[in-house]
């Protein structure tokens, strides 16, 4: 069974748009195991144009989380039952599991009907059939695998994944017979007071012997209030046939909880984020404030990374050892090198090299790359550009479509004018260039190694290596202007106190000049 990465967003070091293979545990495949994923429900309580199972949690769709757990089971085949918005759901699932079998449930007539549609799509099979749901993003692969292994080892016709809750309100109860085996699954609305007092609940995830399931499905009726075919009716059929039905209990059954509305989705997101944070902290990552730190499922962190309050790491971020991120950073699909420092920065599809410094209030757009020891300082925006090793863009600048050589310093207020109204153009700044403040580089231009540009220079032509580039006329002074134009103001009083000359009469011109060019 082939699986691909759950989010089709490549990290900057990979080919853009190319799915990345996820880690699948190096464990033997289960003998003839079919996993059925029920993904046909409409999710009307979400009140969304997006199908419920496609809503994201921790950077993956809900169904992607489930398929990741299913991958750990190493099934022979996966069958996804789709219905509402089948085109979108089918395309999404097929991108994650290319050889998935898609079964269309034209009308939603209950869980047993959905499983019957799935088995019709597969055809005759043997071994084990495991049924799970596409809206349970907290489900962990290790537990699902343990459940499947327990079912196979027991030889049971049917096994139920269950657990105990202190408050089981709203869940179907597992009712046991005198022999300790499962006698029935009773929904809360149908339960007696004694049954409602039971704390063991049905997760809805079940495993069947394939032969028993094939025999039982046609025997399930829809004589109930909803007129639907319920998969839980297989418990009674198994007992009628003399089979024992039992459970595999999870220590934490909350991981089988689904999301039917936005509130439940947010709650699951919080639980999943706490789980992700806990794993990274156990692996040696410092998280200063877990309540304000969000890390998505595909993020990779090295040990001794420090995350300060207000950090969001989204998509396929990768962070090297001893890097410090935060406070108040949002990075998406971004690489951060060993020992880098990132402060109050928004970055997307960017690469921050080892020992580099970014922020505060920096914006790294797709294609931004800082080499080792480079700096993008306060209020600097970088797009589709490389800042070379040790190079600095310290303040208040826009760098778009440019390559800045190693050791170069770009003065405050620099603008790379990359758009001519038709296309984007690229500029190249060489090694060890000293660019003055308030420079504009009108692309495409090339500034040679070791060159210097004066303050306020507009660079429109290539600058040779080692040359000084300046632009603009000489600086002009109009002596006594404040006395003629601003007499009676505090500025005029201050100038008079400083001994400023009154200057010539207005009709005499009154101008002097002084070169502003650097020596």
Write the pLDDT tens digit of every residue in 435-464.
Answer: 999 999 999 999 999 999 999 999 999 999
Tell me, yes or no, whether 465 and 379 share the same domain. Answer: yes
Chain segment 232-287, per-residue pLDDT in tens:
999 999 999 999 999 999 999 999 999 999 999 999 999 999 999 999 999 999 99
Does the pLDDT value for residue 226 go beyond 90?
Answer: no
Same-domain pairing of 231 and 291: no
Nearest alpha carbon to residue 331 among 2, 12, 7: 12
Task: Answer yes or no: is 519 within a domain.
Answer: no
- 487 and 454 belong to one structural domain: no
Please choose, from the candidates 279, 245, 320, 306, the residue with its C-alpha nearest in 3D space to the C-alpha of residue 58: 279
204: left (phi over 0), alpha (psi -120 to 50) or beta: left
> Would residue 360 count as lying in a domain?
yes
Task: Specify if 323 maps to a domain.
Answer: yes
In degrees, rounded to 5, the angle at the alpha carbon of residue 44 between the alpha carbons of residues 226 and 57 is 125
CA end-to-end distance (rounded Å), the chain: 71
The answer to whether 151 and 73 are in contact (CB under 8 A) is: no
308 and 401 in a single domain? The answer is yes
Residue 166 and residue 259 in contact, taking contact as beta carbons nearer than 8 Å = no
Could you give the 3-state DSSP secondary structure of residue 51? coil
Domains in the chain, number: 3
CA distance 335 to 486: 56
Task: Say if CB 204 and CB 133 are below 8 A apart.
Answer: yes
In which band, very low, low, confident or very high, does the pLDDT at 320 lie, cut at 50, 70 and 90? very high
- How confident is the model at residue 14, as a pLDDT? 37
The token duo for 254 is 């909350």
Q: Are both 407 and 491 inside the same structural domain?
A: no
Question: Order of strands across the sheet with 335-336?
Answer: 300-301, 318-319, 335-336, 351-352, 369-370, 386-387, 402-404, 427-429, 446-447
Which active-site residues does the annotation give? 395
Same domain membership, residue 327 and residue 419:
yes
DSSP state of 67: H
Same domain for 376 and 246: no
Average pLDDT, the chain: 92
3-state secondary structure of 62: helix
Per-residue pLDDT at 17: 34
Q: Are residues 179 and 244 in the same domain?
A: yes
Q: CA–CA separation, 66 vs 358, rounded Å?
A: 37
E-assigned strand segments in 187-326: 200-209, 245-250, 286-287, 294-295, 300-301, 306-307, 311-314, 318-319, 324-325
Percent of the chain whose predicted confidence (pLDDT) is above 90 = 85
Which residue among 238, 256, 274 closes a domain? 256
Assess whether pLDDT exceeds 60 at residue 166: yes
- Confidence category of residue 2, pLDDT binned at 50, 70, 90: low
Q: Work out the number of other CB atoms within 10 angstroms of the CB of residue 31.
A: 10
- Average pLDDT on 93-100 reads 97
Check residue 262 and give left, alpha or beta (phi > 0: left; psi -120 to 50: alpha): alpha
Q: Which domain holds residue 394?
A: 285-469
**Are residues 198 and 344 both part of a single domain?**
no
In a domain, 277, yes or no: no
**Are residues 244 and 110 part of one domain?**
yes
Q: Which residues, in sequence order, are bridge partners of residue 249?
A: 162
Do residue 75 and residue 101 come from a single domain? yes
List the beta strands (DSSP E) in 479-517.
511-514
Structure tokens at 155: 């030889």
pLDDT at 164 over 60: yes
Q: How far apart are CA 430 and CA 326, in angstroms?
A: 31
The answer on 215 and 171 residing in a single domain is yes
């Amino acid at each position: 069974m082939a699986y691909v990465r759950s989010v089709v967003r490549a990290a900057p070091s990979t080919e853009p748009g190319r799915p990345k293979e996820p880690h699948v545990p190096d464990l033997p495949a289960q003998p003839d195991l079919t996993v059925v994923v029920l993904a046909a429900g409409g999710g009307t309580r979400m009140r969304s144009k997006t199908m419920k199972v496609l809503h994201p949690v921790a950077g993956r769709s809900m169904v992607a989380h489930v398929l990741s757990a299913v991958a750990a089971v190493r099934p022979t085949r996966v069958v996804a039952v789709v219905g509402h918005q089948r085109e979108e759901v089918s395309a999404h699932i097929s991108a994650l599991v290319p050889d998935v079998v898609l079964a269309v449930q034209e009308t939603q007539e209950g869980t047993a009907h959905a499983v019957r549609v799935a088995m019709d799509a597969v055809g005759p099979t043997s071994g084990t059939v495991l049924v799970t749901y596409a809206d349970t993003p907290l489900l962990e692969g290790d537990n699902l695998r343990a459940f499947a292994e327990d079912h196979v080892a027991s030889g049971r016709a049917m096994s139920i994944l269950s657990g105990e809750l202190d408050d089981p309100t709203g869940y179907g109860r597992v009712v046991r017979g005198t022999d300790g085996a499962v006698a029935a699954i009773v929904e809360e609305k149908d339960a007696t007071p004694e049954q409602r007092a039971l704390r063991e609940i049905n997760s809805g995830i079940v495993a069947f012997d394939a032969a028993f399931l094939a025999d039982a499905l046609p025997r399930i009726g829809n004589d109930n209030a909803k007129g639907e075919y319920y998969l839980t009716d297989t418990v009674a059929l198994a007992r009628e046939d003399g089979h024992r039905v039992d459970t595999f209990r999870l220590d934490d059954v909350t991981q089988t909880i689904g999301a039917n509305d936005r509130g439940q989705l947010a709650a699951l997101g919080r639980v999943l984020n706490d789980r992700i944070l806990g794993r990274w902290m156990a692996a040696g990552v410092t998280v200063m404030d877990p309540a304000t730190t969000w890390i998505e499922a595909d993020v990779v962190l090295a040990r001794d990374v420090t995350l300060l309050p207000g950090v969001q790491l989204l998509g396929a971020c990768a962070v090297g050892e001893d890097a410090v991120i935060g406070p108040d950073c949002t990075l998406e699909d971004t690489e951060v090198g060993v020992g880098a420092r990132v402060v109050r920065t928004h970055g997307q599809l960017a690469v921050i090299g080892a020992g580099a410094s970014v922020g505060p209030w920096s914006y790294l757009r797709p294609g931004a790359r800082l080499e080792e020891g480079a700096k993008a300082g306060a209020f600097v925006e970088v797009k589709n550009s490389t800042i070379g090793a040790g190079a600095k863009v310290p303040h208040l600048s826009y760098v778009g479509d440019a390559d800045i050589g190693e050791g170069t310093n770009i003065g405050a207020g620099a603008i790379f004018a990359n758009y001519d109204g038709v296309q984007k153009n690229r500029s190249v700044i060489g090694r060890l260039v000293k660019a003055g403040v308030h420079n504009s580089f009108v692309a495409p231009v090339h500034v040679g190694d070791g060159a210097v540009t004066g303050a306020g220079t507009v660079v429109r032509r290539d600058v040779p290596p080692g040359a000084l580039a300046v632009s603009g006329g000489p600086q002009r002074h109009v002596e006594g202007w404040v006395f003629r134009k601003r007499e009676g103001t505090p500025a005029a009083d201050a100038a008079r106190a400083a001994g400023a000359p009154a200057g010539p009469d207005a009709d005499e011109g009154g101008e002097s000049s002084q070169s502003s060019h650097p020596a």
